[in-house]
Amino acid sequence: MASVPQAENADGVHTHIHADIANYDQVVRDAAQNDAAEHKMNKREAFAMYRPAIFWSVVLSAALIMEGYDVVVIGSFYEQPAFLNRFGVVDQATGQKLIPAPWQSGLSNGSAAGGIIGLLINGWASERFGPRRTYMFSMFGMIISIFGPVFSKSLAALTASEVVCGLFWGVFQTLTTAYASEVCPIVLRHYLTAYINMCWGFGIFLSSGVVRASLRINSDWGWRMPFMVQWVWPIPLLLGAYFAPESPWWLVRQGRHEEAETSVRRLTNPAMFSKDDAKRSVANMIHTTAIEREMQAGTSYIQCFTGIDARRTEIAMMVFAIQLLSGENLIGQGVQFFVQAGLASTPAFDVNLALNSMFIIGTVASWFLLARWGRRTLYIAGCLAMAVVLAVIGALGYYPSAGASWASGGLLVALNFIYNSTLGAVCYVVIAEVGSTRLRAKTIVLSRCAYQVMNIICGIIVPRMLSPTAWNWGPKSGVFWTVFATLSGVYCWFRLPETAGRSYGELDVLFEHKVPAWRFSSTKADQFNLGTHSPGLDDEKASASHDEK
């Protein structure tokens, strides 16, 4: 069993990077007490003690319900009669209206391109102005930008509107993950960060239900009404953000330690978490931030690609990109996939409802799987399981029949369950943990940018894979994605570390000492250098037992 010491001798650290903090030795002792208490805390205690933090994280994460609805609803329109009547182009071969593959790519990639810009703005704005104010400003922007898709009269106008909406969606994609990871203790991190995937699922499921209900509306209201539903979210979420506590980690990075203690008190149960407990919690944040300041020179995007942070950024970016490389993009084109597999329009929308319900069911399953297997094992297993299912879907594409069509649809539903119980949910846990606390917002932003770049690529090739006027692969597309799902699993074996049960300070030490990914769970790490190790840190067995509490 390997062991790594603290990044630097404690006395040396105290001497030259903590001159601005009085009595830093006491800060370290308080931080060590808080860290030990967190590692000993079981789930029941954590849920009782951090009820307010859970509530506020759930409230702010609801922005992803809105975004999941907004981003996916456009893809559900490609087979909707009212939308085709307004925006469709007559196919000369069949005489039927359809949305050409290039325009499908433009509509999907418009929001992705806007999202990348919004992501980069969020990485700067959330650190400069704080998560709450950035969240509120973006919600106000959403209210205005929704007018665009509702009143668009051409594919070009609709595409431009998707770009503008994407600017604000990009903010919510990462800000909510960072907030969830910063307000909860170690034992609850995987619940609240994986819950973000469920929020996506709620939104996607809602969008498929609304579009299904609008199938009988033959006028422009058939596609306008689903867009108008987007106005349901911003105002209540804006109010929620106004009353929510600010992230204490952000306040510590700004040097506002007293305000950070106040925020911690608002995020915890006062009957179980005293003022001294809040002081020790903030001391742990101060110490972790100080370690990271010693390890890295700044907090810019450039810093994310230098030194030990380059590895952390690479892992976060690849983990998010693998969500699409695993074949998940076929799920996003579910209705079109089902139609090309041979199902009629209405049954295709019905099966799509079952498909999208897996976002919710799979995320709930992930909570239990994460507690048992951790992040690394679950991610690798998810990649390989998806590769197997995709291979079977691809093989069925070579034997077209009514039975094969329904089998392909059923397997796509199974694929979505596997995805959401492994890659879909676990991704948010990993990206919330793998970056340093000072660069967390920017690391998550860059990881989501990697996803959006892959989304643009997939937005170009997937419609062509499925479109009868382009490549017309249909279910055979599964063979193509089997290869990439397998390669993704191989990458995770060599590069994805196990972060379960680790405090942010411990992860800093492990990354600084370049511990191989497959040794993270069995390597000791002492971030305090006080002569003893905190409970639950010694080896893989101890870490696992902590997760099972």
Q: Residue by residue, what is the 3-state secondary structure of 37-106?
A: HHHHCCHHHHHHHCHHHHHHHHHHHCHHHHHHHHHHHHHHHHHCHHHHHHHCEECCCCCCEECCHHHHHH
Q: Which of 347, 326, 362 is nearest to 204 (CA)?
A: 362
pLDDT-based confidence at residue 338 (cuts at 50, 70, 90)? low
pLDDT tens per residue, range 442-465: 899 899 889 888 888 887 888 788
Token readout for 236 is 């209540």
Residues 6+ apart with CB under 8 A from 467: 98, 100, 101, 104, 336, 340
Q: What is the pLDDT of residues 217-250, one digit of tens each?
A: 888 888 888 889 889 888 999 999 999 999 999 9
Q: What is the DSSP secondary structure assignment for residue 517, as one 8-state letter?
A: G
Strands 97-98 and 89-90: antiparallel
| H-run or E-run covering 322 | helix 307-323
- Euclidean distance between CA atoms 319 and 324, whole angstroms: 10
Phi, psi for residue 272 in degrees, rounded to 5? -120, -15
Domain span at residue 408? 3-547
* Residue/partner pairs of 458-462 with CB below 8 Å, 24 or more apart: 458/324, 458/329, 459/104, 459/105, 459/108, 459/109, 459/112, 460/105, 460/109, 462/329, 462/330, 462/332, 462/333
pLDDT computed for residue 20 by the predictor: 53
Kindly give, in sequence order, each residue whose CB lies less than 8 Å from that of residue 523, ignoring residues fewer than 6 positions away: 1, 2, 3, 4, 510, 515
The number of beta carbons lying within 10 Å of the beta carbon of residue 269 is 14
Residues 344-354: tens digit of each pLDDT: 666 767 777 77
For residue 290, the Cα-to-chain-centroid distance in whole angstroms is: 27
Exposed e or buried b per residue across 15-49, where buried means at least 16 C-beta atoms within 10 angstroms of its C-beta:
eeebeebeebeebbbbbbbbbbbbbebeeeebeeb
Angle between helices 307-323 and 345-396 (to 10 degrees): 120
In whole angstroms, what is the distance from residue 329 CA to residue 323 CA? Answer: 8
pLDDT per residue over 152-207, tens digit each? 989 999 999 989 988 888 888 788 888 998 998 999 999 999 999 889 888 888 88
CB 492 within 8 A of CB 378: no
pTM: 0.80
CB 382 within 8 A of CB 197: no
Q: In this structure, what are the phi and psi dihedrals at residue 4, rounded to the nearest 5 degrees? A: -125, 140
What pLDDT is attached to residue 337?
63
55-96, pLDDT tens digit by residue? Answer: 999 999 999 888 788 777 777 777 778 888 888 888 777 778
Contacts 24+ apart (CB under 8 A), 13-21: 13/290, 13/291, 13/294, 17/290, 17/293, 17/294, 18/290, 21/286, 21/290
pLDDT of residue 95: 75
Secondary structure letter of residue 4 according to DSSP: E
What per-residue confidence (pLDDT) applies to 482?
A: 94
Q: In this structure, what token pair is assigned to residue 397?
A: 């594409």
| Domain CATH number, residue 41 | 1.20.1250.20
Q: What is the pLDDT of residues 511-525, one digit of tens each?
A: 988 999 999 988 888
Distance from C-alpha of 195 to C-alpha of 370, rounded to nearest angstrom:
12
Which two tokens mark 498? Answer: 């196990």
Element (H, E) at 199: helix 189-213
Q: What average pLDDT is seen over the chain?
A: 83
Residues 6+ apart with CB under 8 A from 337: 330, 408, 412, 466, 474, 475
Per-residue pLDDT at 529: 66
> Per-residue pLDDT averaged across 434-449, rounded?
89
C-beta separation of 524 from 2 below 8 A: yes
Number of residues assigned to the chain: 549
DSSP one-letter string for 441-505: HHHHHHHHHHHHHHHHHHHHHHHHHH-TTTT--GGGHHHHHHHHHHHHHHHHHHH----TT--HH
Q: Does residue 546 surpass a pLDDT of 80?
A: no
Comparing 20-29, 199-208, 303-312, 537-546, the range with the smallest average pLDDT is 537-546
- In angstroms, the CA 209 to CA 196 distance is 20
Number of structural domains (the chain) is 1
